[in-house]
Amino acid sequence: MRFPRCLAWLMVLFWLVPVARAQLSGQDLKEAKKMVKGPLYLRLDAPCRYGARFGLSVEPLLEVSPTESNVERRLSLPGKLRVESVYWGFSPNDAVSWGALSVKGDTVQVWMEGLPPNSVEVIIDFVQIKNLDDFKKAFDLTFSRVPLQNEHPEWPEEIRRAIAEHRVIVGMTKQQAFCVVGMPINLQTGEEKGVKVETWFPRIDRGTIITGRKVKSTRTGFPAMIKFVDGKVTAIEDTARAPDLKP
């Protein structure tokens, strides 16, 4: 029995033509837009590429799926802007608002604006978003509706106050320190007298952002080094805060 020629061609087309990616329904999108109105507080570092293409442009670097976040993939790719720089302007517990969404297939681009004194744009890509539940999971990985310290009334008041002031203090856990400095640029592990030791080297320089005719370059004010012994901060090496630079 010969295989029907038309059916064979249909099978070939099925394998060659990409399957359309699912995306949020109209009702799901309405609910998602309500969620990002803010103010919101970041749980993650949210760097972007800023530069010029047709006027000032911003490219997202942070990708968040329903299960994980990733910055390294986009950082490894060449940028599309004519004049560009990577600016690590937003860290955990920084406040953002004025959310807007755009949808392309299963990617939902979330545009936000930082609240003073960090009044610059930030864009985050939610990826692998097929329905509202996926969006909510990515949202919860990225944002909190309250300052991070307010999610943990059980933490000591001194710890909660330090997080609110973007300071690391002795006695913090790694989770608490992350709420201040985010992901360190380098991390070392080892042991001292049979006790686990971990040393973080937080980001000191945020990089440069081009905003109109201004060039803004700032320091984070984070410690140069944080040492954890048995999971808690025991030593901090401070670094001086540098003023903003202008051309």
Domain boundaries, the chain: 17-145, 149-237
- State the Cα–Cα distance between residues 31 and 132, nearest whole angstrom: 8
Give the pLDDT confidence of 121-151 residue by residue, as tens digits: 999 999 999 999 999 999 999 999 999 999 9
Tens of pLDDT, residue by residue over 169-190, are: 999 999 999 999 999 999 999 9
Contact 19, 49 (CB under 8 A): no
Please give the structure tokens belonging to residue 162.
């330090």
CATH topology of domain 149-237: Beta-lactamase Inhibitory Protein; Chain:B, domain 1 (3.30.1450)
Length of the chain, please? 247
Rounded Cα–Cα distance for residues 226 and 159 (Å)? 15
pLDDT above 90 covers a percentage of the chain that reads 64
What is the C-alpha to C-alpha distance for residues 202 and 223, in angstroms, rounded to an integer?
7
Query: What does pTM read for this prediction?
Result: 0.84
